[in-house]
C-alpha cells in the first residue's frame, strides 16, 4: 500500500476525531446556558436583556479578534446574505427556547429541543447525501433515549411552550445543516462572525419589540452577562463551528446531545438539583451515543456487520 495513502487516511481520521472532540466540548459549554438562565431569573434579569447583551458582547469580541489578526472577512453578497440569514435563524432559536421556559419546565423544553438530531440526520441524508449507517441509527436511539431519561420528570405545560420549543428545534436543524454547507468554503471563525451579526440583529429587534429591554442594573447582572457571553456563547459556538468543518452535520448533531448531561451535572453541583438513578442511566446512554457516533466505532460496527454478511441497502445487490 502506498505510504502516502496511509498518511492521508491517518490525517483524515485524526481530523474527524478532532471534529467530534470539538463538538463535544462545544456541547458541554452550551450546557451551561440553562444554569445561566436559572441564575438570571433569580436575579430578575429579563430574557430580552440577557439575550441582547449576550450577543452584542459576543459579536463585538469576535469581530475585534478577527480584525486584530488581520483575518480576511470579505464575502460575496449572496454568501453574506446566507450567513446573516443563518444568524437570524439561530437568534430565533435562542429566543423561542428561552421564552418557552415561561410555560415548560427546563427538562421538557430540553427534551423537545433535542429531537433536532433526528431531523438533522434525515435532512442531511436527503440534502447532503450523508448515509445513515447502523452505528448512527444506534447512536440516535441511545441519544434520544438518554435525553428522555435525563430530562424526564419535568412538569407538563401548555401548548404555547411546546410550540415555541418545537419551532426552536426546527430552527436548530436549519442552522446546523446550513452551517455544515457554509464551512466547506468559509473559515469557521469568519462564518461564526457573520452568524453573530445576524443573531444580534434578531435578538435586538426582539428586545425592542417585546418592550422588556433594559440596562443591566446590578453587578450580578453584568457577571451573568459576561459568563453567558464567553462560556455559554462565544467559546461553544466557535468549537461547534470548527467541529462542523471536520465531520458530517448528522454526526455533529448526535454527539452534541451530551449537552443536557452537562446541564444536569452543573445543576446538581451548583444549584442542588436532585440526581436520581434515572438521570444516571440517561447519562450513560448519552455517553454511549457519543461513542457510537465516533468514526472509529462506526467503522468497527460496519466491519463487524460486513463479516456477518450484512451490506448497506445500496450495496446489497452489488
DSSP the chain: --HHHHHHHHHHHHHHHHHHHHHHHHHHHHTTHHHHHHHHHHTT--HHHHHHHHHHHHHHHHHHHHHHHT------HHHHHHHHHHHHHHHHHHHHHHHHTTTS-HHHHHHHHTTHHHHHHHHHHHHS-----HHHHHHHHHHHHHHHHHHTTPPP--HHHHHHHHHHHHHHHHHHHHHHHHTTTS-HHHHHHHHHHHHHHHHHHHHHHHT------SHHHHHHHHHHHIIIIIHHHHHHHHHHTTS-HHHHHHHGGGHHHHHHHHHHHHH-----HHHHHHHHHHHHHHHHHSHHHHHHHHHHHHHTT---GGGTT-
Rounded (10°) angle between helices 277-293 and 134-151: 160
CA 301-30-283 angle, 5° bins: 50
What pLDDT shows up at residue 316? 47
Question: Under a CB-based contact definition with an 8 Å cutoff, are residues 63 and 176 in contact?
Answer: no
Give pLDDT tens digits for 229-247. Answer: 999 988 887 888 788 777 7
CA distance 123 to 210: 33
What pLDDT shows up at residue 174? 86
Residues of the chain with pLDDT under 50: 1-12, 154-155, 157, 314-318
What pLDDT shows up at residue 263? 76
What pLDDT shows up at residue 255? 73
What pLDDT shows up at residue 313? 52
Residue 122, burial from CB neighbour count under 10 angstroms (0-12, 13-18, 19+) = middle
pTM: 0.73
Give pLDDT tens digits for 175-214. Answer: 888 887 887 888 878 888 899 999 999 999 999 998 888 8
Amino acid at each position: 500500500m502506498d505510504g502516502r495513502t496511509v498518511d492521508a487516511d491517518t490525517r483524515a481520521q485524526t481530523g474527524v476525531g478532532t471534529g467530534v472532540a470539538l463538538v463535544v466540548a462545544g456541547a458541554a459549554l452550551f450546557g451551561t446556558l440553562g444554569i445561566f438562565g436559572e441564575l438570571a431569573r433569580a436575579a430578575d434579569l429579563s430574557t430580552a436583556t440577557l439575550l441582547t447583551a449576550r450577543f452584542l458582547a459576543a459579536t463585538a469580541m469576535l469581530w475585534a479578534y478577527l480584525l486584530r489578526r488581520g483575518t480576511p472577512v470579505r464575502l460575496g453578497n449572496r454568501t453574506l446574505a446566507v450567513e446573516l440569514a443563518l444568524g437570524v435563524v439561530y437568534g430565533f432559536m435562542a429566543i423561542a427556547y428561552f421564552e418557552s421556559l415561561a410555560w415548560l419546565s427546563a427538562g421538557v423544553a430540553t427534551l423537545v429541543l433535542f429531537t433536532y438530531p433526528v431531523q438533522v440526520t434525515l435532512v442531511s441524508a436527503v440534502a447532503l447525501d450523508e448515509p445513515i449507517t447502523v452505528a448512527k441509527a444506534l447512536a440516535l436511539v441511545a441519544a434520544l433515549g438518554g435525553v428522555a431519561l435525563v430530562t424526564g420528570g419535568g412538569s407538563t405545560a401548555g401548548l404555547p411552550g411546546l410550540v415555541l420549543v418545537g419551532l426552536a428545534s426546527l430552527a436548530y436543524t436549519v442552522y446546523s445543516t446550513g452551517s455544515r454547507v457554509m464551512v466547506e468554503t468559509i473559515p469557521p471563525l469568519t462564518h461564526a462572525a457573520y452568524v453573530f451579526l445576524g443573531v444580534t440583529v434578531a435578538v435586538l429587534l426582539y428586545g425592542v419589540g417585546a418592550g422588556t429591554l433594559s440596562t443591566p442594573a446590578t453587578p450580578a447582572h453584568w457577571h451573568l452577562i459576561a459568563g453567558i457571553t464567553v462560556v455559554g456563547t462565544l467559546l461553544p459556538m466557535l468549537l461547534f463551528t470548527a467541529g462542523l468543518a471536520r465531520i458530517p452535520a448528522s454526526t455533529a448533531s448526535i454527539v452534541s446531545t451530551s449537552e443536557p448531561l452537562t446541564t444536569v451535572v452543573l445543576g446538581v453541583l451548583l444549584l442542588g438539583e436532585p440526581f436520581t438513578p434515572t438521570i444516571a442511566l440517561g447519562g450513560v446512554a448519552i455517553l454511549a451515543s457519543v461513542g457510537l457516533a465516533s468514526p472509529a466505532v462506526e467503522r468497527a460496527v460496519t466491519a463487524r456487520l460486513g463479516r456477518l454478511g450484512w451490506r448497506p441497502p445500496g450495496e446489497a445487490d452489488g
